[in-house]
């Protein structure tokens, strides 16, 4: 996993993933302010670049309005701190009975 601290382009995301050999790029979107279509476009391009490099994008601190807007256009991305698909939610213990 790699976390990018500042503005970057989709090409830089793909290049970093290939060079660093990571499969997850965490994008801190907490300081974006009110979501705009330009944000959606940039996030979609980063996700596409990451997929082409064999990875994925995870969002950190997204505004609920941004998450809703992304969902509205069909982009469902992982959010840091939420359990990944197939994993139990935090604080949930899973017991397996044998026999």
- Sheet hosting strand 2-4, strand order edge to edge: 2-4, 24-28, 56-60, 78-79
Scanning the structure block, which residue is given the tokens 């090409």? 11
Which one is predicted more confidently, 94 or 33?
A: 33
3-class secondary-structure state, position 79: strand
Express each pLDDT in 32-79 by its tens digit.
888 888 888 888 888 888 888 888 889 988 999 999 999 999 998 899
pLDDT for position 16: 66
Which one is predicted more confidently, 21 or 50?
A: 50
pLDDT for position 96: 47
């Amino acid at each position: 996993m790699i976390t990018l601290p500042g503005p970057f382009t989709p090409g830089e995301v793909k290049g970093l993933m290939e060079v660093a050999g990571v499969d997850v790029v965490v994008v801190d979107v907490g300081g974006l302010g009110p979501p705009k279509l330009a944000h959606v476009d940039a996030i979609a391009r980063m996700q596409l670049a990451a997929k082409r490099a064999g990875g994925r994008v995870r969002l950190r601190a997204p505004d609920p309005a941004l998450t809703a807007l992304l969902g509205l256009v069909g982009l469902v991305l992982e959010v840091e701190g939420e359990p990944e698909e197939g994993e139990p939610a935090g604080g949930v213990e899973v017991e397996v009975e044998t026999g």
